[in-house]
């Protein structure tokens, strides 16, 4: 597959920024505590499903202290429709305990601190910081990975390597580009039956036989 040229990368970046300049996560939350939980739950689970789960969870455990003291079976029951709910319930309680014990009940908005929380890896930390602080970071989920490869922005085999490549190529406005890549992949450049001829505004740059059919 061909790689995007420097000129194409600049054009792709401009198109994303024009289309998605105000894009934000589709996860529902009101504070960093709710956001980090929602992002952690969204791993291998859709945002739509997470948004169905979290209202009751947040009502039952409105603060880190409440969640830290929660009964594991009660938490599992509330999130049982989420993928890997057993492990996620364990991690949520452990995460809350550390937030209370180490950070005084406040979610640390720093990557090095965030990744010390149970269930929070680099991608989750980046998504939280991108959304809440508009940090100049990139995070690669299945949508970003797919779009990046179809557009010739990356041919890396892993999400971590793809992230590094996107950071190197885009450099700035990464939080907006991340949100744009996610939404573009979720609704237009879908895994199956991408909307190439009806909604795609990046047809001239597509390098994939699964994407723009005219190439």
> Does residue 214 sit within a domain?
no
Q: H or E stretch including 133?
A: helix 122-133
pLDDT at 208: 85
> Does residue 210 sit within a domain?
no
Q: Check 13, 88, 97, 141 and give the catalytic one.
A: 141
Quick one: 151 and 127 in the same domain? Answer: no
Q: Is the pLDDT of residue 86 over 70?
A: yes
Quick one: 106 and 192 in the same domain? Answer: no
Rounded-to-integer distance, Cα 192 and Cα 212, Å: 13
Give the pLDDT band of residue 191 (cuts 50, 70, 90): very high
Mean pLDDT of 95-104: 98
CATH number for the domain including 194?
A: 1.10.1670.10
Number of domains in the chain: 2
Q: Which two tokens stand for residue 25?
A: 């996560």
Quick one: 179 and 124 in the same domain? Answer: no
Q: Check 123, 156, 169, 192 and give the catalytic one.
A: 123
Domain end, chosen from 69, 103, 133, is at: 133
Quick one: 88 and 70 in the same domain? Answer: yes
pTM score, two decimals? 0.91
Quick one: 142 and 129 in the same domain? Answer: no
Domain end, chosen from 89, 112, 133, is at: 133
211: number of Cβ within 10 Å: 21
Rounded-to-integer distance, Cα 203 and Cα 36, Å: 35
Q: Is the pLDDT of residue 211 over 60?
A: no
Q: Is the pLDDT of residue 212 over 50?
A: no
pLDDT at 101: 98
Q: At what angle do helices 32-41 and 85-103 cross, to 10 degrees?
A: 150
> Does residue 212 sit within a domain?
no
Quick one: 111 and 150 in the same domain? Answer: no
Quick one: 86 and 38 in the same domain? Answer: yes
Give the pLDDT band of residue 209 (cuts 50, 70, 90): low
Is-catalytic flag, 123?
A: yes
Determine the structural domain holding residue 199 and report its residue range.
6-23+138-205
> Does residue 56 sit within a domain?
yes
State phi, psi for 192 to the nearest 5 degrees.
-115, 140
Quick one: 87 and 128 in the same domain? Answer: yes
Is-catalytic flag, 141?
A: yes
Quick one: 117 and 42 in the same domain? Answer: yes
pLDDT digits over 157-188, tens only? 999 999 999 999 999 999 999 999 999 999 99
Quick one: 43 and 117 in the same domain? Answer: yes
């Amino acid at each position: 597959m061909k790689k995007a040229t420097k000129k194409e990368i600049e054009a792709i970046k401009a198109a994303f920024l024009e289309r998605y300049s105000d894009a934000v996560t589709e996860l529902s939350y009101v504070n960093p505590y709710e956001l980090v939980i929602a992002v952690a739950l969204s791993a291998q689970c859709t945002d739509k499903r997470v948004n169905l789960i979290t209202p009751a969870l947040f009502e039952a455990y409105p603060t880190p202290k409440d969640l830290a003291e929660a009964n594991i079976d009660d938490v599992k029951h509330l999130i049982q429709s989420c993928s890997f709910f057993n492990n996620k319930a364990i991690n949520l309680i452990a995460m809350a305990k550390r937030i209370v014990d180490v950070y005084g009940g406040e979610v640390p908005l720093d990557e090095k601190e965030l990744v010390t929380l149970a269930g929070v890896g680099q991608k989750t930390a980046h998504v939280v910081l991108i959304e809440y602080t508009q940090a100049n970071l990139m995070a690669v989920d299945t949508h970003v990975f797919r779009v990046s490869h179809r557009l010739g922005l990356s041919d890396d085999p892993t999400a971590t390597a793809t992230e590094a490549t996107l950071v190197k190529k885009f450099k700035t406005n990464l939080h907006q580009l991340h949100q744009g890549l996610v939404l573009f992949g979720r609704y237009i450049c879908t895994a199956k039956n991408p909307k190439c001829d009806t909604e795609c505004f990046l047809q001239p740059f597509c390098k994939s036989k699964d994407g723009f059919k005219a190439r």
